[in-house]
Structure 1
Amino acid sequence: MTVLLFGASGYLGRAADEALRGRDARVVRVSRTAVHDDSWVRHDLVRGGIDELAELLWAVRPSVVVNCTGLLDGTTADLVAANVTPTAALVDAIARTVPSARLVALGSAAEYGRVPHGLRVAEDAVPDPVSAYGITKLASTLLVRDAVTAGRLDGVVLRIFNPIGADLPAGTVLGRAAQAMRVALRQGDDITLGPLDAYRDFVDVTDVADAIADAALATVAPEPVLNVGSGRAVAVRDVVAMLASAAGFRGRVIESGPAPSRSNAVTWIAADTTRAQRSLGWAPHQDLTTSVRAVWQHA
């Protein structure tokens, strides 16, 4: 089993690489930056042309293509280029060059937008994203789903909720909090974050990686869109308090910073993971306390 892994140097890509290799898959890692050794290939899904991508697919002849690239923040044009264009290129190039290969793409809980408080959202909910990020992730999902429905592609989109754990990037609320706490512990300061009253579904990055590996290596084609979350919504304020406890941070957390534009209108989100359990046999295993400790230990 050969897996062509785009975004292998990123947060989710590194975890997926480890999970796939742990199941004896041959992983050809793709990055747009430096090539580390013979198991890496340099390619930029945003700037590279369709012919160049087709040549790469033809050379590797993968059984599975996993795309872990993407952009959380930026201009609308940047988000379209990073989140939609690569998916369109992969759908066309795979259908043209290696039509038997499966595409595993990563979606986002942001595709759902506002959902009823207290309920877990399932894949058949009508998506209504409230930010350019969510809109571009939904567009990517629809491209894959429509290609699957038309019989052009063996593909699945994993809608990832809020991944946390070791090496969490600073672009997320817990990543920012961990970074701020490290500075504050040295300088004796309080920290300032945005509003923390929303409820989010936090899922460990190793559980996300297992879901990616499950989807990539499944012998039967999975359902085309699957939620990957813990199934539990937790107040962000409580999770930041858990992080402060793990860090030994006793200063104040001041919530006067700007809210993130991609999610500030969503006050509650939790995943219904029934389909992922049915289609992949996947379920999350890591508890939230362990995940939060890993955020701090590897910040």
Structure 2
Amino acid sequence: MRVLVTGAYGFVGNAVVRRLVEAGHETVALTHRPAGAPLPALPVSQVLHGDIRDQEALAAALDGVRGVCHLAALTRVRESFERPAEYQAVNVGGVVTLLDALAAAPAGATPPKVVLASTAAVYGAAAGQQPIGEDSVPAPSSPYGLSKLAAESELRARAEAGALTAVGLRCFNISGAVGGVGDGDESRIVPKALEVAAGRHPYFGMNGDGDAVRDFVHVDDLARAYVMALEAPARAPYRTYNVGGTPVSVREVVATVERVTGREVPVVHHPPQPEPPRLVADVSRIAAELGWRPERSGLQRMVTDAWSAVSAGNR
């Protein structure tokens, strides 16, 4: 199958492309990086350059494509409070442009299946609903979460109108590395702790005692979910799946980073914040319907793989 991956050169895109190729698919990458800019090695058959809000660029990228993994987006929760309009324009506008490009395809052409990168941020605090199932009422508490929920709604509406079939993958906290490519976003827990271990930051800021529990999934396990969602027969015009792996506390993350790296991670404790004590994924739906289960999402494995990427300078 010829598959378009938007955001192919990002942390998740890199892993998805590798899993698609391993499964025998031909991959096409759409990147916003300018033509002529150096690109990391990735086993794609074609690279196209353009913004995800450019319908002409998307139309060219969709030529002969039978599946789309739409990963290109702005993804930083804290940053989204400073740039809400931009998050709406890119995360929602990019999906609308993709859908419009698909709708402009020649009559009679079967539209590709679309797998959308969504997020657990659509659930917000999800108080009293642990583990969080896909039927939990969304209550996003950030512009990022709002933009992703709106993107899901646009895709769902087109799918339920019969225009295409689609899947939304609501990912929890992603970690690890594939092909030496890790997560360079230091606003996230594991990358920040590793940067402190590497001596690039003086300390790790922890709210309270670090008892808050979050769900982490290895980026390679997430990439397998994309392939399985793409290949599976459609159960409905639109289906949503949670993708999570291992619930651990922030304190456990820091302790594991120290153990894996053999280095101290100095911690500065900040006052406790009004944050959910536990946000954990219910992954029973994706297990039952797609046969997906986490295989590499143990905390030590995720931290070890991520540290290897940091040590190699591939943050």
Q: TM-score, normalised by structure 2?
A: 0.84
CA contact (8 A) 2:122 2:149 kept: yes
Aligned to 1:183, the other structure's residue is in SS state coil
CA contact (8 A) 1:165 1:292 kept: yes
Alignment counterpart, residue 143 of structure 2, candidates 125, 128, 132: 132
Aligned to 1:40: 47
Alignment counterpart, residue 276 of structure 1, candidates 277, 283, 286: 286
Q: Do residues 285 (structure 1) and 285 (structure 2) align?
A: no
Alignment counterpart, residue 53 of structure 1, candidates 24, 35, 58: 58
The alignment of Structure 1 onto Structure 2 pairs a total of residues equal to 286
Aligned to 1:4: 4
Q: Distance in 1 between matches of 2:176 and 2:161?
A: 37
Deviation, 1:265, is: 3.5
Aligned to 1:250: 264
CA contact (8 A) 1:118 1:268 kept: no
Kindly provide the amino acid, as one letter, of the partner of residue 84 in structure 1.
V
CA deviation profile, 1:164-220 (whole Å, cap 9, x unmatched): 002122332211121122116xxxx85132424321100000000000111122244
CA deviation profile, 1:37-57 (whole Å, cap 9, x unmatched): 8621112114x2x24422432
Q: Distance in 2 between matches of 1:257 and 1:40?
A: 47
5+ unaligned residues in a row in structure 2: which ranges?
A: 311-315
Deviation, 1:34, is: 4.4
CA contact (8 A) 2:171 2:242 kept: yes
Aligned to 2:289, the other structure's residue is in SS state helix
Q: Distance in 2 between matches of 1:253 and 1:26?
A: 45
Deviation, 1:18, is: 0.3
1:182/1:135 CA distance change after superposition, 3 Å: same
1:153/1:217 CA distance change after superposition, 3 Å: same
Aligned to 2:14: 14
Q: Do residues 23 (structure 1) and 38 (structure 2) align?
A: no
Structure 1 residues 159-178: aligned runs within 5 Å: 159-166=170-177, 167-170=182-185, 171-178=187-194
Q: Distance in 2 between matches of 1:27 and 1:203?
A: 24
Deviation, 1:295, is: 1.4
Aligned to 1:295: 306
Q: Do residues 62 (structure 1) and 73 (structure 2) align?
A: no
CA deviation profile, 1:57-76 (whole Å, cap 9, x unmatched): 2xx22000111111123310
5+ unaligned residues in a row in structure 1: which ranges?
A: none
RMSD: 2.3
Q: Distance in 2 between matches of 1:150 and 1:216?
A: 20
Kindly provide the amino acid, as one letter, of the partner of residue 64 in structure 1.
G
